[in-house]
Homo-oligomer: A and B are copies of this chain.
Amino acid sequence: MDTPEPRPHTGRRRNEAARQAILDAALRLAGAADGASVTIDAIARAAGVGKQTVYRWWPSKGAVLLDALIDRAGQDVTVPDAGTLHDELRSFVATTFEAAQQDPTSAVLRALLRESARDPHLADLLQRYTATRRAVLHALLERGRARGELATGADLDLMVDQVYGLFWYRFVLGHGPLDAPTAERLTATLLAAAGQAGRLPSGPADAD
């Protein structure tokens, strides 16, 4: 049973240099100024590219930004896998906090939020992206539970959302710190509760 030989490809191939130039331009513009003027026209002009070339490959401005984020700033939050759940979780949270506040990433994240507010399609993409991030954290917690460091009844989804909820809330409003001590205290809070799961109201089955 061989492959249906869909089509070996025909026509000119995508210009990788143009792709890079567009992502670069998007990052540069998102980082500059107050984030206004992140326009498709501006991105295309800054990349030395026709507008159509942007629209050919991305459905919206925000999709470009998201792509830029994943390509350029996505590889930084790694799971350390060192020792106790407490250490792992604290490290994960602190790294997440820190990474988001570095210079290009922060601007892109804000630009993404700005765009996703208008563009339902981007909102969808962003939702999918955040889901993968949640999944990573969820897996981390699950490994801890498997090692007996969490009560079996612990609501992992809630724990995950408490981390990312706090993160986004402070990131957007900027009224409170997202630093290492905060990561430490947040971790302690979550584990203090989940370690006493017997006294907690039982969460959902959480079979995943």
Q: Count identical subunits in the complex.
A: 4
Please report whether the interface of chain A is mostly helix, strand, loop or mixed according to DSSP: helix
* A143: interface (CB < 8 Å): no
Q: Are B184 and A201 in contact (CB under 8 A)?
A: yes
* Pairs across A and B, CB under 8 Å, 27 listed: A116-B117, A127-B173, A127-B175, A130-B173, A131-B175, A134-B175, A158-B189, A161-B166, A161-B169, A161-B170, A162-B162, A162-B189, A165-B165, A165-B166, A165-B167, A166-B166, A168-B168, A169-B169, A181-B203, A188-B199, A188-B200, A188-B201, A189-B190, A190-B193, A192-B199, A192-B200, A193-B193
A14 interfacial contact with B, CB 8 Å: no
- Asked if A2 lies at the interface with its beta carbon under 8 angstroms from chain B, I say no
Considering only CB atoms, which chain B residue lies closest to A169 in the complex? B165
Q: A114-B118, A120-B34, A168-B165 are in contact. Are A201 and B185 (CB under 8 A)?
A: yes
Residues of B within 8 A of A185 (CB): 155, 158, 200-201, 203
Rounded to whole angstroms, the CA-CA distance of A113 and B134 in the bound complex is 22
Query: In chain A, residues 129-171, which have Cβ atoms closer than 8 Å to a Cβ of chain B?
Result: 130-131, 134, 155, 157-158, 161-162, 164-170
Contact flags (1/0) for A88-131 with B, using CB distance below 8 Å? 00000000000000000000000001111110100000010011
A84 at the binding interface (Cβ < 8 Å): no
A interface list, Cβ under 8 A from B: 34, 113-118, 120, 127, 130-131, 134, 155, 157-158, 161-162, 164-170, 173, 175-176, 181-182, 184-186, 188-190, 192-194, 196, 199-201, 203
Nearest-neighbor residue (CB-CB) of A194 within chain B: B189
Please name all residues of chain B whose beta carbon is closer than 8 Å to the beta carbon of A199 when the two chains form the complex.
Answer: 188, 192
> A158-B176, A158-B189 known; 10 other A-B pairs, CB under 8 Å?
A127-B175, A158-B186, A162-B189, A165-B166, A165-B170, A168-B168, A168-B169, A185-B200, A189-B189, A189-B193
